[in-house]
Chain A
Amino acid sequence: MNRLKIAVLIGAAFALGACTNAGRFDNSDGFGADGAGGAGFDVGSAQDPNSPAYFSQTIGDRVLFLVDQSSLTPEAQSVLAGQAAWLANNPEFTAVIEGHADEQGTREYNLALGARRANAVQEYLVSQGVAATRLRTLTFGKERPLEICSDESCYAKNRRAVTVIAAGGTS
């Protein structure tokens, strides 16, 4: 039943996503096709809207979570809508979504929590039209903190899910 729901969502989102994505990326359309537009940046650089670097730096490759939570904040949903649009425009890329937790928790619980966070991102991207087959989730629990201090300023940045863009299949 869950699967059926997701399938219906995917279908609906595909239709929806196609419109919004086209609108958002009008400016860059054609760039990848002939590359002769004369835009003043190197292909693949962070200025190239179709580059993974643009994805991570401009769109934002990560969303943050509240303590022990895996639900997506409105800010997170807005970032993920941008991620979904980019993925729609760059169908040759796949992504691994890494879920992370801060150090305030036991190791194995945090692995499960990281998996929940990664899955929340995956489900949202799928709901925005990204094919589930292009996405895979991965949890690091508390094994790979970004920030290393032991207070909330660091913990807030460590409670994250990062969408890592890769070329080719998710294997």
Chain B
Amino acid sequence: MRAILIFLAMVFSLAIGSVAVAQDGPLRLRITDGVIEPMPFAIPAFQAESAAAGQLAGDISRVVAADLTGTGLFREISPDAFISTVSNFASPVQYADWKAINAQALITGAVNADGQGNITVKFRVYDVFSGAELGKGLQFAGTAQGWRRMAHKVADEVYSRITGEGKYFDSRVVFVSETGPKNDRKKRLGIMDYDGANVQYLTDSSAIVLAPRFSPDGNQVLYTSYETGFPRIYVLDVNNVGRRAIDLPSGTMSFAPRFAPDGQTAVFSLTTGGNTDLYTVNLASGALTRLTSAPSIETAPSYSPDGSRIVFESDRSGNQQLYVMPAGGGDATRISFGAGRYGTPVWSPRGDLVAFTKQNRGRFHIGVMRLDGSEERLLTASFLDEGPTWSPNGRVIMFTRETQGAQGAPSLYSVDISGRNLKPIRTDGGASDPSWSPLQR
């Protein structure tokens, strides 16, 4: 899986002028403007350039379409409405035919398979109303097994060119798979594509596992396990599924581990004598540093993208609130002041926002605020929403929603930071505690 070698290549050289015009032209979707109408696009099934590519060509174009429509920003035009057919990737586009069905963007592509397990996928994006190509055609090469990743890469290019936002489809999510009754849940770590496909399990369900978090390179996961009967933090290699416990003083409990942006340090909660404080551990040397020393609960830490600060929750004021302190510890500044309790802060990858869980009047919300606590916005409301995680581009938040009652069960949802496009992520059985990976390389 990791062996997939992907390289980008220009398929054709194009007139530079037309590219520039297209990029500055009308085909631009500014998410921050508050999109009301999704942009209509057409994506004819990708051409199979060899017999072995027949099935994959159609499958890849379906995943590209699903990625785009899944954002809530795009609407796919049914192929039944098409006037033109695209019989050859190199043929000129009949803009009038696409304009007539109101397709603002047209995506064409072709797939070649060598029958030895290697495939190439190439695509072009057209700005129909400008009558020009948007950006350059690109080609990805990889394995047939990794076809979904190549589809996500195509969709990422299209999304990024049209919205001007960073990419996020070619990413994964590590989460806790849950089965069994509420009072005897079986939990194991799972990893899947961001859209819920390609689930693999990283642990068995013999011990409770909680709250996994990716390393900055996406190759390792920190999590909490009850393997020894007591909660303890572990680091797991995603590729070979090897794991080791982080060595900590005996008689302590540990949980809530997160990687620092350097990938070498973890911040986490250590409980001793009933009191929970924040510590860091150097993952190579095991050196332990205490960051907080208070009788209150300090937990749920999250580093700023530059690694200089940590946002965390503490009940030092009497109930759960959010605080920011230097990454080495020291004076903490409270940033949450609204009604209710605030927990599980997560610093956005862009650095400008904190996502959090808020409890107020018996309801749970996922929300975002700026680092100084201003511009608080609640994005969701339900019986129990918790544990936000950011998409690599900082536009989408995934979280756990648990339903009420004896039959209550957790599942994963995502929502745009505008509060729009709330939707479930399909998983087999229950799922909780998602952590979104960085964009894959």
Taking Cβ atoms with an 8 Å cutoff, the residues of A that contact B are 2, 68, 70, 103-109, 111-113, 115-116, 118-120, 122-123, 136-140, 143-150
Contact = CB atoms under 8 A, between A and B. Distances in A.
Interface in B341-363: 343-344, 357, 359, 362
A162 B65 CA distance: 53
Contact of B297 (A109, A143, A148): A109
B183 A111 contact: no
Nearest to A118: B274
| Residue of B275, B299, B408 ringed by the most chain A CB atoms within 10 A | B299
Given A111-B299, A148-B181, 14 more contacts: A108-B300, A109-B297, A109-B313, A109-B343, A111-B210, A111-B256, A115-B253, A115-B271, A136-B251, A137-B274, A139-B231, A140-B208, A145-B182, A149-B406
A137 B185 CA distance: 21
B271 A139 contact: yes
B271 A106 contact: no
8 closest Cβ contacts across the A-B interface? Answer: A119-B274, A112-B276, A112-B297, A148-B182, A106-B343, A150-B404, A148-B406, A115-B271
A122 B71 CA distance: 51
Contact of B269 (A104, A108, A116): A108
Contact of B274 (A105, A106, A108, A116): A116
Contacts of A138: 229-231, 253
B383 A107 contact: no
Contact of B183 (A107, A119, A137, A146): A146
A109 B185 contact: no
Q: Which of A70, A112, A113, A150 has its CB near the most chain B CB atoms (within 10 A)?
A: A112
Contacts of B181: 148
B158 interface: no
A107 B357 CA distance: 11
Contacts of B433: 107
A2 B313 CA distance: 25
B274 A115 contact: yes
A135 to B, nearest CB: 11
B413 interface: no
B344 A106 contact: yes
Interface of B: 181-185, 208, 210-211, 229-231, 251, 253, 255-256, 269, 271, 273-276, 297, 299-300, 313, 315, 319-320, 343-344, 357, 359, 362, 383-384, 386-387, 402, 404-406, 408, 433
Given A137-B274, A150-B408, A108 B383 contact: no
Contacts, number: 100
A48 to B, nearest CB: 27
Contacts of B299: 108-109, 111-112
Nearest to A109: B343
Given A106-B386, A109-B343, A143 B185 contact: yes
28 contacts: A70-B274, A105-B359, A106-B320, A106-B343, A106-B387, A107-B387, A108-B210, A109-B300, A111-B276, A112-B269, A112-B271, A112-B276, A112-B299, A115-B253, A115-B271, A119-B273, A137-B253, A138-B253, A139-B253, A139-B271, A140-B208, A143-B210, A144-B183, A148-B181, A148-B183, A149-B406, A150-B404, A150-B406
A150 B383 contact: yes
B256 A108 contact: yes
A81 B401 CA distance: 41
Given A120-B274, A149-B406, A108 B255 contact: yes
Given A115-B276, A119-B274, A148-B183, A104 B319 contact: no
Nearest to B356: A106
A112 B275 CA distance: 8
B182 A111 contact: no
A70 to B, nearest CB: 8
A18 B251 CA distance: 27
A59 B399 CA distance: 42
A146 B182 CA distance: 9
Q: Most chain-B CB neighbours within 10 Å: which of A109, A143, A148, A150?
A: A109
